[in-house]
Amino acid sequence: MLPKLLVLVSGAMLAAAEILSLTELNWTLQNAEGLIKVPAQQPSQVHLDLKAAGVITEPLLGINDFTERWIVPDSWVYEADLSSVISQHAQGNNGSRTLLVFYGLDTVATITVAGHPVAWVNNQFQQYVYDITDFLASPLGNEKSINIAFESPFVYGQNVSARPDVESTIAIDFEWPGVRQYIRKISSDFGWDWGPAFAPSGVFKPAYLVTLSDSPATQSAENSPASHPLLVSQTGGIFIEESALEISKVGQNPNVRPDESADWLLNVTLAVRSMRADLNPTLSISIPELNVQSDPLKLSPIPAATNASTFVTASFTIPEGLPQRWYPHNLGTPKLYNITITLDVGGLPSVSYTTRSGFRTVYLAQTSYSQDDVAEHGLTPGDQWHFEVNGKAIYSKGSNLTPFDPFYPRTTSDKVRWILESVVKGGQNMLRVWGGGIYQPSDELTGGYDFYSACDELGILVWSELGFSDSTYPVNDFFLESVEREVRQNVRRIKRHPSNVQWAGGNEIEPAILLANNTLGSLLPSRYIDEFLLMFQDFLHDIVLQEQSSVAYTDCSTTNGVLSLEPYTLRLNNLTAGHIYGNAELYNYDSSQSFNYSTYPLSRFVNEFGFHSMPSFYSWEEVLQSADDFSFNSTVVMSRDHHPPALGLIWPNPLAPEGQKEMTVAVEQWLPTPGTSDKNQTFAQWCWSTQVFQSLYMQSEIAFYRRGSGRGERNLGALVWQLNDIWQGVSWSAIEHSGRWKVLQYGLANIFEPVIAYPFWVPETQNLEIAVTSDLWEAANGTVQLTWYDWHGGSLNTSSHAFSIGSLNSTVAYQVQGLSNILPAGYKVEEVWMLLSLNAEVDGQIYTHEQHFVPTSLAKSNLVDPMIKVEHGDDLTFTLSARGGVAPFTWLDHPAGTVGYFVDAVSGKPLNGFYLVPGSDRTVRFVQSAALSTIASPSPSDFVVHSLWNNTHI
């Protein structure tokens, strides 16, 4: 949906400098044979228009990801009438030029205007601008339309990969085989192990006709700056094709720690198309809040040209100490400033626009720890790998972001905002934008929805990746030329955002090529290593650092790091035993080892780790169409488990039973096995129990990595795979497709608290360690209270243990060995559990945290009917009481049609899936998203409470 700030005009007004959204045209869509022809919209994609016309049903329903595959191999044509626009040009208004502006085409398309071929494009990640004035002035024959003919992305990929001059590659096929690495399109569009493979096509981002005027008399004297660079074209003869702003320190180099005392450097780069030439154009920069105004800054000449853009650059310094710095939300205020850019081109009215940005330094430490560091702090030797913000090391707590929907045009800023606010509420300070998805947009006007600007505002750090994943790629000139333009455009656009903290070349490619090399040895042609290095060590590295200097480049999400930053040389297999290098990831689907700490990597930073789970019963209700489908191993449910992937187009996924088994075994091993006389309840409890296990496992890993901040590995980062869902199916997500929080999202909110206590239990040695970890920059002092209960809710004994902990560190608050010394006297492991309650003071602020220790599997614990009672209060508050025994993982479900989360009514912290103890009532409040909920005022009676007891009892 286009933002209201853009004034759309009719075709009759195009002769005066104006902007027309292609949304305003009347579009049709037809397939290559012309057998299907339907009304269409822009921006859109083929599946969405076919759905709107009733040709297909909602693609996410049932097994439509299979039955609607017929759409992908076909070619599709979008067409709209331009008669009113052409008539204006036929009147001979020589003082205007019209530009056709696409901010995203998905993907391979031929563009025709009034019968004239305009362009052939093949990169989803680029923006395209064409001067079509002459075409509109002289249509061929009676052609008065714009025609955008999309080739099948699958057929295109097949054709390209079959060329004799195209390199073979090493890649994983998820569904549509053998093509994704040959086409510059979202990789996961062809399938992934957490999503479908619709491979859509269409004008997926906003597009415009921009008419520039050379007649000052027809131009309005706009005094206030435009709210976006695109909108300056409403005032005259200038179009800003690209606008880039980078705020860094004077002399900053991403490979060296910034000089925090240096002045700030504001660098502005514009790509300009102008109706008039100027040998001496100027640019000025102002920040009203700081009372800062530059003098006119001289630019290189700008020609009178609308068929290509001219890049101009200017810089301006601001004294250190004048602006307030931007911080991630958990460490300070994400302060932003309105920055106004004014461009003066002789003979045209000056144009101004305002953008928002912040002042911060970011450094990715990748060099070796010194011998002094190793000796003084007891570190394991090797390289550093952590982020520093404004001169201080931070602990990166977060998750990995995947595309929000299989069909980009229907993603809204409201939905994205909800997901990002959930990140903040969940205690995360970093998101990794996964390289197999999309380059996330900066604003609605050009990107359809807002992402990076929202992260700036909310104080979320963003680890950005270029669009490459789990494959080697061609390195021929044709391919690299397209990639270069793609990367330059996106790096220039995103560098103004203080939230962006690094560029990685892609996802998991370095470990994949090293695995192939280590497995095949001399059988692997050396060219694969050479081509990997050419692309990810040299080519992409150089482009990124040519375009910006404020954040680092790394070759890959998971990497062994570098031998040298200047020149940039990857370490690869140049490893020393006993040293730690780069970062790490972990996926272990043997649930018998899930809580075995020796299976976790000792790493400086863990950027991916996860375990899959089912979506909730409520999400299944959105897509299942038969009562028989509501079963853990029904055909439709299993068809939505793409782990392990099918490796081709076989449907249903023949490998899904393995993924289903992994979840099943995990639940059976660690939780009461769901099974009741109510079929739907059993299915619902199975789905929920997979989420409970997932949360327990991820909490264990995160606690381990965070504890590593005070140990030899000096771990300073943990990013869970994954944050969000692209559809309703089996995945590693913490938040479901609708925005509903899974158990994991509440678990992350708990384990990402600033100061936490966690029980590290090693059953083989019967050793229990209560560790306290803090990611604050200030020292923390406090106590951990340990209270043993039986499952009836009786308090058996309690002890209190003081701790003192430094900045970004961990400590042991209590340690004991042997069950006879751990358990309350006379009790067995099946009969008891422990509550950990932390209370810490940091600079006068109180921090609290709660965790639990069960000395055996909950599947073996002697649970007691909790007899939970719920009382409804005002404003969707619920007070829960256990009238029987303890209810582990007491859970409230909000009804279908609502999106929101539960918070503790006193502390305001997210709270669900908690231990409810007799005599200790809990009151929670439901915080609802009005924008995403279809039911505005849900009835309290429609909220459902259950716990692990309901796995086996009605």
User: pLDDT at residue 1 above 60?
Assistant: no
User: pLDDT at residue 616 above 60?
Assistant: yes
Please confirm whether the linkage preceding 303 is cis (ω < 30° from 0): no
The band of 236, judged by pLDDT with boundaries at 50, 70 and 90, is: confident
Rounded Cα distance between 824 and 838, Å, is: 21
The band of 88, judged by pLDDT with boundaries at 50, 70 and 90, is: confident
The band of 875, judged by pLDDT with boundaries at 50, 70 and 90, is: very high
Amino acid in position 639: S
Q: Where are the alpha helices (DSSP H) in 857-926?
A: none
Supply the pLDDT for residue 92: 57
* Token duo for residue 684: 């619902």
Rounded Cα distance between 695 and 422, Å, is: 16
Supply the pLDDT for residue 430: 98
The kind and range of the H/E element at 453 are helix 452-458
The residues, any chain, with a CB within 8 Å of residue 519's CB and separated by 6 or more, are none
The kind and range of the H/E element at 2 are none
The kind and range of the H/E element at 431 are strand 430-433
Answer for the pair 855, 823: CB distance below 8 angstroms, yes or no. yes
Rounded Cα distance between 252 and 232, Å, is: 31
Answer for the pair 357, 497: CB distance below 8 angstroms, yes or no. yes
The helix/strand/coil state of 413 is helix
- Average pLDDT, stretch 6-26? 64
The band of 14, judged by pLDDT with boundaries at 50, 70 and 90, is: very low
Q: What angle do CA 570, 574, 578 make, to 5 degrees?
A: 120
The band of 93, judged by pLDDT with boundaries at 50, 70 and 90, is: low
The helix/strand/coil state of 17 is coil
Answer for the pair 882, 793: CB distance below 8 angstroms, yes or no. yes
308-342 as b/e, with b when 16 or more CB fall inside 10 Å? ebbebebebebebeebebbbbbbbbebbbbebbbb
Q: Is 649 left (phi over 0), alpha (psi -120 to 50) or beta?
A: alpha
The band of 316, judged by pLDDT with boundaries at 50, 70 and 90, is: very high
Q: State pLDDT tens for residues 877-917.
A: 999 999 999 999 999 999 999 999 999 999 999 999 999 99
Of 14 and 718, more confident: 718
Supply the pLDDT for residue 716: 98
Rounded Cα distance between 481 and 488, Å, is: 11
The band of 816, judged by pLDDT with boundaries at 50, 70 and 90, is: very high
Q: What letter would DSSP give residue 433? A: E
Q: State pLDDT tens for residues 475-498.
A: 999 999 999 999 999 999 999 999
Which residue has 């009215």 as its token pair?
A: 349
For the sheet with 795-805, list strands across it. Answer: 795-805, 780-790, 832-842, 845-853
Q: State pLDDT tens for residues 342-365.
A: 999 999 999 999 999 999 999 999
Which residue has 């093949």 as its token pair?
A: 122
Residues serving a catalytic function are: 508
Percent of the chain with pLDDT over 70: 97
Q: State pLDDT tens for residues 257-293.
A: 999 999 999 999 999 999 999 999 999 999 999 999 9
Q: State pLDDT tens for residues 837-860.
A: 999 999 999 999 999 999 999 999
Q: What letter would DSSP give residue 507? A: B
Answer for the pair 171, 63: CB distance below 8 angstroms, yes or no. no
The number of CA neighbours under 13 Å toward the Cβ of 91 is 13
Q: State pLDDT tens for residues 104-122.
A: 999 999 999 999 999 999 9
User: pLDDT at residue 2 above 90?
Assistant: no
Answer for the pair 705, 583: CB distance below 8 angstroms, yes or no. no
- Average pLDDT, stretch 735-742? 98
Q: What Å distances lie between residue 321 and 327, 334, 359, 594, CA to CA? A: 15, 16, 10, 48
* Token duo for residue 753: 């608290």
C-beta neighbour count of 31 within 10 angstroms: 17
Answer for the pair 838, 755: CB distance below 8 angstroms, yes or no. yes
The kind and range of the H/E element at 570 are strand 568-570
365 alpha carbon, distance to own chain's centre: 23
Answer for the pair 270, 326: CB distance below 8 angstroms, yes or no. no
The residues, any chain, with a CB within 8 Å of residue 210's CB and separated by 6 or more, are 18, 19, 20, 98, 99, 101, 230, 233, 239
Q: What angle do CA 266, 384, 468 make, to 5 degrees?
A: 65
Supply the pLDDT for residue 13: 36
pTM of the model: 0.97
The kind and range of the H/E element at 944 are strand 944-946
Rounded Cα distance between 122 and 184, Å, is: 7
Q: What angle do CA 258, 261, 265 make, to 5 degrees?
A: 70
Amino acid in position 32: A
301, burial (CB in 10 Å: exposed 0-12, middle 13-18, buried 19+): exposed
Supply the pLDDT for residue 17: 60
Q: Where are the alpha helices (DSSP H) in 521-600?
A: 526-532, 540-547
Q: State pLDDT tens for residues 628-677.
A: 999 999 999 999 999 999 999 999 999 999 999 999 999 999 999 999 99
Answer for the pair 25, 389: CB distance below 8 angstroms, yes or no. no
Supply the pLDDT for residue 6: 41
Supply the pLDDT for residue 95: 82
Rounded Cα distance between 846 and 748, Å, is: 20
- Across all residues in the chain, what is the average pLDDT? 96
283, burial (CB in 10 Å: exposed 0-12, middle 13-18, buried 19+): buried
